[in-house]
Amino acid sequence: MRKINLSRWALENQPLVRYLLAVFIFAGVAAFFSLGQEEDPPFVFRGMVVRAYWPGATAMQMGQQVADPI
């Protein structure tokens, strides 16, 4: 069985390889510019961060009077 040598084939068929390279580059550039991109995507991010500061409060006070009601 004969092994396929891709490097040899590419060197023997340089015009075809250059043509295919140009086609793939053109297709990639066309695909890149046809991609849609929105500034604000239409998905909902269901999470938030709440920070509460209470100087002088204990951890128990923060837990009972701030964290539990939130």
Q: How far apart are CA 43 and CA 50, in angstroms?
A: 21
Kindly report the pTM of this predicted structure.
Answer: 0.49
Closest among 55, 52, 45 to 63, alpha carbons compared: 52
Q: Estimate the share of the chain in helix, then strand, then coil, as percent rounded to the nearest 5.
A: 55, 0, 45
Q: Read off the pLDDT of residues 10-68 as tens digits, 9 standing for 90 and up.
A: 999 999 999 999 999 999 999 998 888 777 777 777 888 888 888 988 888 888 888 77
Domain layout of the chain by residue ranges: 1-35
Angular region, 39: left φ>0, alpha ψ -120 to 50, beta rest: alpha
Asked if 64 and 52 count as a contact pair (C-beta separation under 8 A), the reply is: no
48 CB neighbour count, 10 Å cutoff = 6
Q: Given pLDDT bands bounded at 50, 70 and 90, which one contains residue 8?
A: very high
Q: So what's the pLDDT on residue 4? A: 87
